[in-house]
């Protein structure tokens, strides 16, 4: 039954009314990481799911192979009661203006897996449209796999607009239908989900972690150590440590490592991540909150992604990637 975790309301399958999706025409736009997982999990729950894609999309055949009807985006929106937008964030506003808004039924539900476009005002739906979010806290492939195994990835859900009065129930039914109610569906709002998601991926998970690994690798190799050792110590073992933290917090990890490692952890950590690092993180958060990051990212996308492409190419050329691709060849279990 519904409960509270640290002040946040959590719902489980028993609290969700799946019949809120019965008899409704559901359209999922996009069949990528999130799209395939939401669509297939809901279809296996017996719901009426159609996929909307661009004409000529290479995902078209993939969706049909899985037994899902596919239409072009505008057509797929036309008779839908619920439209879940699972196309890349940077394309959503243009697709909304061109294909979704002119075709969206009166009183329809418009849904997202990330609050970006609604929160930053890039999509402003009509007054009659209900708006909710179901954001699984994991990549789509995990959402699909755990569902098939009988569990599910926890989801955040939020309601932004509720002219029909039952949007929360529809959102909870959706979250339950994709498997979230097997582990927990947590209430949030568009602002909090959007800003914390962007901050996490920038400062810690993606930006923070890769830069930390890369800098450690550079320090060792520039000091003359073998690239193989540098790779193992700075990248490969990251997973072993993170798995322990994931399972049991810092305590479990520190219990498993040697006293030497634990001493070094307390001694060196604050010298690497300093008060200046914290200030830099606060500035990153400020740029997210003000919308400067969103505008910068969307402008890059509109210009053909010069920043993204330049950095993607440079990252692929870094020594750690070359060393990694050779070393991983030794690790048969990674294939
Ligand atoms: P993705 O890149 O994996 O898939 C995007 C899909 O959109 C593809 O099937 C593509 O063919 C389709 N597409 C592209 N342009 C289109 C158009 N003009 N019309 C119709 N379809 C089009 O994207 P994703 O990672 O699944 O992200 C989708 C949403 O889910 C985003 O809002 C993202 O922030 C959110 N989200 C993603 C994850 C994740 O782990 N990937 C987790 C939580 C939330
Ligand atoms: Mg994200």
The region, left, alpha or beta by phi > 0 then psi within -120 to 50, assigned to residue 312 is: alpha
Tens digit of pLDDT for each residue in 38-67? 999 999 999 999 999 999 999 999 999 999
Tens digit of pLDDT for each residue in 162-203? 999 999 999 999 999 999 999 999 999 999 999 999 999 999
- Give the Cα separation of 41 and 64 in Å (integer): 15
Q: Quick check: CB of 179 below 6 Å from ligand 1?
A: no
Q: Where are the alpha helices (DSSP H) in the chain?
A: 33-44, 60-65, 73-78, 89-95, 116-119, 140-149, 167-177, 190-199, 207-222, 227-231, 237-256, 259-272, 275-289, 292-302, 306-317, 319-327
**Does residue 152 sit in helix, strand or coil?**
coil
Average pLDDT score over the chain: 97
Nearest-ligand number for the alpha carbon of 194: 2
Phi, psi at 144, each rounded to 5°? -70, -50
Mean pLDDT value of segment 136-160: 97
Tens digit of pLDDT for each residue in 84-93? 999 999 999 9
Report the separation in Å between the CA atom of 30 and the middle of ligand 1, taken as the mean of its atom positions.
6
DSSP conformational letter for 49: E
Cβ-based burial of 250 (10 A; exposed 0-12, middle 13-18, buried ≥19)? exposed
114 is catalytic: yes
Q: How far apart are the first and last CA of the chain?
A: 41
Q: Is 65 flagged in the annotation as binding?
A: no
The alpha carbon of 324 is separated from its chain's Cα centroid by a whole number of angstroms, namely 25
- To test the pocket of ligand 1, the residue of 27, 29, 34, 95 to mutate (highest count of ligand atoms within 8 Å of its CB) is 34
Phi, psi at 2, each rounded to 5°? -50, 145
Report the separation in Å between the CA atom of 24 and the middle of ligand 1, taken as the mean of its atom positions.
23
Report the separation in Å between the CA atom of 198 and the middle of ligand 2, taken as the mean of its atom positions.
6
H or E element that contains 78: helix 73-78
């Amino acid at each position: 039954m519904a409960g509270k975790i640290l002040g946040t309301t959590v719902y489980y399958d028993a609290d969700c009314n799946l019949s809120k999706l019965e008899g409704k025409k559901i359209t999922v736009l996009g069949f990528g990481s999130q799209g395939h997982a939401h669509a297939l999990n809901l279809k296996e729950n017996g719901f009426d799911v159609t996929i909307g894609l661009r004409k000529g999309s290479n995902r078209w055949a993939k969706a049909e192979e899985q037994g899902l009807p596919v239409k072009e985006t505008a057509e797929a929106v036309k008779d839908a009661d619920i439209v879940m937008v699972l196309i890349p964030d940077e394309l959503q506003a243009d697709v909304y203006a061109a294909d979704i808004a002119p075709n969206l039924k009166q009183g329809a539900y418009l849904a997202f897996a990330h609050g970006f476009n609604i929160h930053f005002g890039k999509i402003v739906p009509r007054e009659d449209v209900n708006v909710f979010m179901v954001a699984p806290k994991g990549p789509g492939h995990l959402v699909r796999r755990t569902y098939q195994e009988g569990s599910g990835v926890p989801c955040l859900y939020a309601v932004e607009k509720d002219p029909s009065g039952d949007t929360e129930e529809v959102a909870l039914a959706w979250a339950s239908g994709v498997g979230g109610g097997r582990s927990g569906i947590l209430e949030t709002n568009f602002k909090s989900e959007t800003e914390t998601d962007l901050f996490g991926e920038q400062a810690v998970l993606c930006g923070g972690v890769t830069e930390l690994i890369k800098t450690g690798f550079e320090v060792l190799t520039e000091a003359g150590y073998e690239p193989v050792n540098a790779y193992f110590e700075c990248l490969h073992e990251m997973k072993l440590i993170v798995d322990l933290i994931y399972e049991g917090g810092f305590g479990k990890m520190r219990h498993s490592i040697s006293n030497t490692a634990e001493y070094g952890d307390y001694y060196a950590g604050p010298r690497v991540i300093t008060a200046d690092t914290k200030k830099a993180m606060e500035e990153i958060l400020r740029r997210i909150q003000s919308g400067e990051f969103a505008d910068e990212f969307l402008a890059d996308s509109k210009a053909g992604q010069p920043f993204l492409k330049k950095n993607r190419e440079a990252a692929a050329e870094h020594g750690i990637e070359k060393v990694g691709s050779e070393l991983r060849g030794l690790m048969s279990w990674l294939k």
